[in-house]
Amino acid sequence: MSNAAHTATRKAFIELAIRCQVLRFGEFELKSGRVSPYFFNAGGFSGGQALAELGRCYANTLVAFDLIPTVLFGPAYKGIPLVTATAMALASHHSLDVPYSFNRKEPKNHGEGGLLVGAPLKDDVVIVDDVITAGTAIREAITLIRDAGAQPSGVVIGLDRCECGSGTRSAVEEVRDELGLKVASVITMHDIIEWLESTQDLSQYLEPMQRYRDRYGV
């Protein structure tokens, strides 16, 4: 995928997220206690058309980062619609028929049983999720994948907030450094700021975003 096509994907994702009120601007207190000028909640991608567009953005990102695995895995619960939409978009827009799997929060003790639903996990697996905050969900997914005899090879997320945690590294950098996984994101905080620089409609949020990046960004 060309740089121009990937730039178009990032722009489409930001505008989709704003339309669906997944990406909002204002003042939001985070779990960390920080007051953020923006908030991202992937649960707002709740319509069929939105999921189709969302899946295409994720699929384009996997192709752009050359991160096509044997199996896609979506951690419950938000990862389930994300991985489903991504698999469909890979097939319809890139002619790549990649199987997918997801987990239950509680093991099923009747019928086929177990924690996993969908394709068997094997060979290399890419995890599909919305964001990486503390990395807890990613670590749990890695354990599930390895317990199934497969190998996690990467993660694709919707947003990389690109901000430091308690130390000097971001959550994404910690996953890359400590777990040795390639992490691709559809957009980053820097992409949001760049988009705000190019539009007049929400220009009042540009300066707070820049200040937040200057204080916490990596």
**Residues annotated as part of the active site:** 108, 110
Place of tokens 């994300």: 82
Q: Give the H or E element holding residue 185.
A: strand 182-188
Closest CA to 86 of 121, 114, 45: 45
Taking the C-alpha atoms of residue 18 and residue 12, their distance in angstroms, rounded to an integer, is 10
3-19 helix and 48-64 helix, angle to the nearest 10 degrees: 150
Q: Give the H or E element holding residue 84.
A: helix 79-94
Taking the C-alpha atoms of residue 22 and residue 5, their distance in angstroms, rounded to an integer, is 23
Q: What token pair was written down for 150?
A: 């497969």
CB 87: neighbour CB atoms within 10 A? 25
Closest CA to 78 of 127, 39, 120, 125: 127
Taking the C-alpha atoms of residue 169 and residue 165, their distance in angstroms, rounded to an integer, is 6
